[in-house]
Amino acid sequence: MNNSIKKLIEDVLYKTCKESGISREHLPPIFINQPKKKEWGDLSTNLPFSLSQKTGKSASHIGKLLTSSLENEKLFSRVEFIPPGFINFFISSLYLKQTLKKILIQKEEFTQFSSGKGKKVQIEFVSANPTGPLHIGHGRAAAFGDSLANILSKVGYEVEREYYVNDVGGQIKRLFSSVWARLKELEGEKVSFPEDGYKGEYLIEIAKQVKKELGSKLSEIAKGVDLEKEIAKEEKINQITEGFSSEKKMAQKKREEKAESQILGLLGRFAVNEILKEIKVDLKVFGVRFDSWISESSLHQKKAIPEILSYLQEKNYLYEKDGALWFKTSLFLPGEEDRVLRRRNGDYTYFASDIAYHQDKLRRGFDRIIDIWGADHIGYVPRMKAAIQALGYPEKTLQVIIYQLVTLKRGKKRISASTREGKFIPLKEVLDEVGRDAARFFFLSRTCGSHLDFDLELAKKQTPENPVFYVQYAHARICSILENARENRIKIKNPDEVKLDLLTTPEERELMKELSLLPDEVYEAAKSLEPHRLTTYLQELATLFHQFYTRHRVISEDRELTQARLMLVKAIKIAIGDVLGLLGISVPQKM
C-alpha cells in the first residue's frame, strides 16, 4: 500500500544507523532529494553531514560506514559515498520494474496513502460575501482549496469543503440599500446612489428581477409607508393645533422604519439568493464543488453567539469597557490588542460570530480545520487563533493559509479589484478568455505566498503555449498510441506477461524513475499543503514523455518491445490522469 520510495530509503537508513550503533533519538530528520546531476544518482541524502554535527564524528567516517552496509540492499543498484558528506543512491531496475507493475495494477490507488486515515479535516475557502460575483482573487482561492481538498483525501483524510456565507452585517445592509436604489432608478425615480453602496452593474440586473418577481409585494408594503407618511402629515397639522407628543412621533417613525426594513429585508434576501446562485454557477463552471454551505444568519438564528459569549464569560475571558464587551486576546497572544465582541449598541461584531462559527466547526468533530483567506485578512489570524485556544483547543487545530492577492493587468495597465466600486473583472470573464484548465493550472503552479500578476493579455496570448496543454497533450498522445495499437489489433497483455526488462534506454529509465517518485510528490504536497508541487511534477513527467516519444517508437516490428513500451505509456497515462484529477483539471483523450 505504501509506495513511497523515500520512505523506503529512510527505513533502510534508520535500520543501518541502528546497526551502526546510532540510536534513533540521535538521528536528525532525514532529507532525501533529487540531486541536480545524473552522476550524483537518482536520489541523495546529506545524512553524513547532519549526523556528524550530532555525533561529533567525521562526516566521511559516517558516510563510509553507512554506505558499506547499504550496498547489499536490493532497492539500489549502487550506493556511493561522495565526500565531503553525500550519499548517492542509484535505484535498481528491479525496483523500477516493480513500481511500473504496481501502477498498472493499482492505478489511482498507487498514490493513495493512509496517513490521514480516521481523521476529519475541514477546508473552508472562497467564502466570498454574497454582495457580488466572484472575481479573479476568489478564483485563486477556489482552485487552491479544491485541489488541496483532493490531495488531502488522497492521503487518507475525510475532507469536507465548506463555504461560509456572510449574510449578516454592514456589507449586506449596503447591498440592500444599493439594490433598493437601483430599483427606484428602474421606476424612474431620481435617487442619490448610496455613497458606500455597491456600484457594480450586476445589481441593475438583480433589481430588474426583483421588480419582476417581487414587484407587487413591494408596492403593497411601500403603500404602507406612504400611508404612514399621510398620517404623519395629518399629525403635523394636529401638532399645530393641539401639540405633538414625542411619543406619537416616535411610534410613527418606528412604523415607517419597520415598513422600510421589511422592503429591504425582502428584496435583500432575494438579492443575496440571486447572487449566491450566480456564485454557485461560477464555481461549477470552474469545477469546484462544496460539501457544505453554512450561513452566518443561521448561527444568529441558533443563538450561537450569546451562547459562546456566556461560555467565554464563564472562563473569565471577557470584560466590559465603554459599554462594550471585550475579548482578552492579549491573554493568549501577548502584544495583541483586546477586541470587541459586542458593541455598545448591542450588536455583535463579525469576530463574535466568527468565534461562534469556529466553535460550530469544532463541535462537528474535525481534527483539523483549514481556513483559506486572502491577504487582506492577515491581521485577523492571531485573534482567531487566540479564540481557538479560548475555546479549549490547541492553537494548531486551526491552520490559516493566506494567499496573496491577485493583481489583474491588461498589458501594463493595472485593473483595480474593488467589489464596492464595481471595478473588477468577474471570474466568469477570465474563464471565458483563458479557459478553466489554463486558469486552474496558472493558479496552482504558484505558491500561495506569491503576489501574482494576472495579465489577461498575456494569459490569452499564451493560451496555446500554456504548460497545461503541454501536459494534456502528452496524455492525448498516449491515448492516440493506445488507439493505434487497438487498430493494429495488438492485444495489450497483463503486466506479468510482459518483459519489462526490455525497457533499457535512458529515456525509459528516467520515465520509470519519475513515475516511482509520484507517491512522494503527492505525500509532500499534502504534508506542506502545497498543491503547486504537483504542477511542477506534471511538467517534468510530460517533458520526459515527449522526449521519449520523439526518440523511440512505441509500436514497432519488435512485438515484445512494443508490449513493454505500451506498459510504460499506460503507466504514464495513469499518472498524468491521476495528478490532473487532483488539480481539478480535465484529462482529454483528444485535443
Partner RNA sequence: GCGCCUGUAGUUCAGUGGAUAGAACGUCGGCCUCCGGAGCCGAAGGUCGCAGGUUCGAAUCCUGCCAGGCGCGCCA
Site residues for RNA, window 458-517 (CB under 7 A)? 458, 462, 464-465, 467, 469-470, 473, 476-477, 479-481, 484
Query: Quick one: which of 549, 581, 586, 587 contacts RNA (CB under 7 A)?
Result: 549
Query: Quick one: which of 3, 16, 44, 111 contacts RNA (CB under 7 A)?
Result: 44
State yes or no: residue 529 binds RNA (CB under 7 A).
no
| 87 beta partners | 45, 81
Residue number, 221 or 349, with CB nearest to RNA: 349
Long-range contacts of 419-423 (CB under 8 A, 24+ apart): 419/129, 419/131, 419/132, 419/135, 419/198, 419/200, 420/196, 420/197, 420/198, 420/199, 421/199, 421/200, 422/132, 422/198, 422/199, 422/200, 422/201, 422/202
Contacts to RNA from residues 166-225, by CB under 7 A: 166, 168-171
Q: How far apart are the C-alpha atoms of 83 and 270, rounded to whole Å? A: 71
Interface with RNA by CB under 7 A: which range of 112-120, 266-274, 279-287, 529-537?
529-537
Contacts to RNA from residues 324-353, by CB under 7 A: 324, 339-340, 343-345, 347, 349-351
Residue number, 249 or 446, with CB nearest to RNA: 446
The residue type at 153: S
Sorted by sequence, the CB contacts under 8 Å of residue 190 that are 6+ apart come out as none
Q: How far apart are the C-alpha atoms of 376 and 135, rounded to whole Å? A: 15
State yes or no: residue 553 binds RNA (CB under 7 A).
yes
Residue number, 311 or 473, with CB nearest to RNA: 473
CB of 208 vs RNA, minimal distance in Å: 26
> Grid coordinates representing 550?
520523439
Query: Quick one: which of 404, 419, 516, 563 contacts RNA (CB under 7 A)?
Result: 404
Residue number, 259 or 327, with CB nearest to RNA: 327
CB of 340 vs RNA, minimal distance in Å: 3
Q: How far apart are the C-alpha atoms of 321 and 349, rounded to whole Å? A: 15
CB of 244 vs RNA, minimal distance in Å: 32
Contacts to RNA from residues 3-32, by CB under 7 A: 6, 31-32
Please classify residue 576 by burial: count the beta carbons closer than 10 Å to its beta carbon, then call 0-12 exposed, 13-18 middle and 19+ buried: buried
Residue number, 261 or 447, with CB nearest to RNA: 447
Query: Quick one: which of 215, 265, 306, 323 contacts RNA (CB under 7 A)?
Result: 323
Three-state DSSP state, 44: strand
* Binding letters toward RNA, positions 275-314, x by CB under 7 A: ---------------------x------------------
Residue number, 228 or 530, with CB nearest to RNA: 530
State yes or no: residue 360 binds RNA (CB under 7 A).
no
* Binding letters toward RNA, positions 364-393, x by CB under 7 A: -----------xxxxxx-------------
Q: Would you mind telling me the total number of residues written for the chain in this entry?
A: 591
| Cα of 544 vs its chain's centroid, Å | 28
CB of 225 vs RNA, minimal distance in Å: 26
State yes or no: residue 455 binds RNA (CB under 7 A).
yes
Q: Which of 226, 248, 225 lies closest to 235, judged by CA?
A: 248
SS3 for 125-163 is: CCCCCCCCCCEHHHHHHHHHHHHHHHHHHHCCCEEEEEE
Query: Quick one: which of 280, 428, 460, 546 contacts RNA (CB under 7 A)?
Result: 546
CA angle 499–500–505, rounded 5-degree value: 125
Which segments within 132-281 are labelled E, that is strand? Answer: 158-165
Q: How far apart are the C-alpha atoms of 23 and 429, rounded to whole Å? A: 59
CB of 159 vs RNA, minimal distance in Å: 23
Which segments within 322-361 are labelled E, that is strand? Answer: 324-327, 339-342
Sorted by sequence, the CB contacts under 8 Å of residue 254 that are 6+ apart come out as none
Interface with RNA by CB under 7 A: which range of 138-146, 150-158, 389-397, 456-464?
456-464
* Binding letters toward RNA, positions 65-104, x by CB under 7 A: -----------------x-xxx-x----------------
Interface with RNA by CB under 7 A: which range of 103-111, 230-238, 252-260, 542-550?
542-550
CB of 65 vs RNA, minimal distance in Å: 17
Contacts to RNA from residues 114-143, by CB under 7 A: 129
Residue number, 290 or 441, with CB nearest to RNA: 441
Q: How far apart are the C-alpha atoms of 479 and 345, rounded to whole Å? A: 66
CB of 411 vs RNA, minimal distance in Å: 11
Query: Quick one: which of 239, 399, 547, 586 contacts RNA (CB under 7 A)?
Result: 547
Residue number, 147 or 218, with CB nearest to RNA: 147
Residue number, 302 or 451, with CB nearest to RNA: 451
Contacts to RNA from residues 228-267, by CB under 7 A: none
Q: How far apart are the C-alpha atoms of 258 and 255, rounded to whole Å? A: 5
Q: Cα dist. 437→143, 288, 382, 432 in Å?
A: 10, 12, 35, 11
Q: Which of 582, 459, 591 lies closest to 110, judged by CA?
A: 582
Interface with RNA by CB under 7 A: which range of 152-160, 303-311, 322-330, 389-397?
322-330
Residue number, 184 or 552, with CB nearest to RNA: 552
> Grid coordinates representing 538?
506534471
Residues near RNA (CB under 7 A), total? 90
Residue number, 46 or 99, with CB nearest to RNA: 46
Query: Quick one: which of 38, 61, 223, 451 contacts RNA (CB under 7 A)?
Result: 451
CB of 447 vs RNA, minimal distance in Å: 4
> Grid coordinates representing 72?
547489499
CB of 294 vs RNA, minimal distance in Å: 14
Sorted by sequence, the CB contacts under 8 Å of residue 217 that are 6+ apart come out as 266
Rounded to the nearest 10°, the torsion over CA 570, 573, 578, 581 is -150
Interface with RNA by CB under 7 A: which range of 100-108, 161-169, 257-265, 497-505?
161-169
Query: What strands lie across the sheet with 406-410, from one edge to the other?
Result: 413-415, 406-410, 452-455
CB burial of 266-282 (b: ≥16 within 10 Å; e: otherwise) equals bbbebbbebbbebbbeb
Query: Quick one: which of 68, 273, 447, 494 contacts RNA (CB under 7 A)?
Result: 447
Question: Are the C-beta atoms of residues 296 and 168 closer than 8 Å to each other?
Answer: yes
